[in-house]
Structure 1
Amino acid sequence: MNILILGYGKMGKIISQVAEERGHQIVAKINIENVADLDHLDTSKIDVAIEFSQPGSAVGNITWCMQHGVPVVVGTTGWMDDKDGVTNLCKQKDGSLFYTSNFSIGVNIFFKVNAFLSKLMNDQEAYKATLEEIHHTEKKDAPSGTAITLAEGLIKNNQRYSSWELQNDNTQQKEGTLPITSKRIDPAPGTHIVSYKSEIDDITINHTAHNRKGFALGAVLVAEWLPGKKGVLSMDDFLDF
């Protein structure tokens, strides 16, 4: 396959390495310094794009892919305020857009465990839910996209919570609101912790990523799968949970 890399930071470099190890060709590596090179690419020779840039660049990169008929796999988080517009553009262009907040197979299993536990805790009013995420200091968005996905899964399956809120030292927890704590620490693996706490005991589930290779491999596997498919797709489609 011929793959276009949009965003050539730490993740983009690992994705390129994994893709080449799997026998794919990288047609271009685009970042903020050479974004003008997009205008000179032969899109007929691009099978798929993998987008891991920054929140401020993601929508522009996705739009370019939709306008040029390039299927795109998106791992950048922090642009969800524009999700409806991007979804509509994908439909208008009959495009192929795959988005997930996390490409790790383990994390996506964790999403399902989180949803199941949330259902079990629905009637257990003695327990209060909290969510904590820890990342390195270079991560720009807070809470992380993975934390938001976990929060949405918990809220969907537990009628005692209707929204989430990012906490700081002065925030008072509101009834019906799931508090999220974000920490930025170096060095730190990506860690997500969901807890249900009561006066008697705590129930906690957590996922810790040891390195980025699992995310990169997941993105490349999805890129191999995506061409020929249409619409806005997610890990539920890819993993067929």
Structure 2
Amino acid sequence: MNPASRAQKNSLVETLNQATLDPAVVVSPPAIYLIPLQEKLRKDVKIAAQNCYLKPSGAFTGEISPSMLVDSEIPYVILGHSERRTIFGESSSFIADKTRVALDTGLSVILCVGETLAEREAEKTAEVVQSQLKPVIDVLKEEDWKKIVIAYEPVWAIGTGKVATPSQAQEAHADIRKYLSSAVSAAVADSTRIIYGGSVTSKNSGELSQLPDVDGFLVGGASLKPEFVDIVNSNKA
């Protein structure tokens, strides 16, 4: 929820529009900026909403429905972000229901999972992440996974300056892939993009991008800076 002046917004858009970028870039502004951004941003960079509700319409003041996003030609939505879970109390089953509806409406979903510091220190990372994934797995069909990206974001590393070590990130991503293989299929495990989020910067993205099970990044604060382009192109570097 980062407000920006008109000049700051235009500068960010201009930076992206002029940059040479690796493919598969999605940006996710606050909801009030979705349509203005869509009108100004280059078409190969896709746009995501930061959240949506699970009803197409009704008396749900303040919410955005997935059908509104589809009608506005917004192709992606982020669901299950750690702040939605921890601050707004969204359960894994509720997030699974939203995922099902979003897919049925025609959206692609960036699904966030991750553990707190206490859960990490208790060595419960895999257990927690699997408990967050299971309700989603239960409501999806195998073909639905073509429109899912999983974002592993350790809560203790978001906006704190702390970053999972390469070995921690790789272990968590490999565990997710192994769980998908057993709970869904080996094909889904192999093809699903699993991205890392948690204080990603241009300084650490290069090393993280070389890990075999890290397929990209969910970038927070650094996406508001010119270094975002360097993170996008970390594989190229």
Question: Looking at CA atoms only, which structure, 1 or 2, has the larger radius of gyration?
Answer: 1
Which structure carries more helix by proportion? 2
Could you say which structure has the greater relative contact order, defined with CA pairs below 8 angstroms and 6 or more residues apart?
Answer: 1
Higher strand proportion (structure 1 or 2): 1
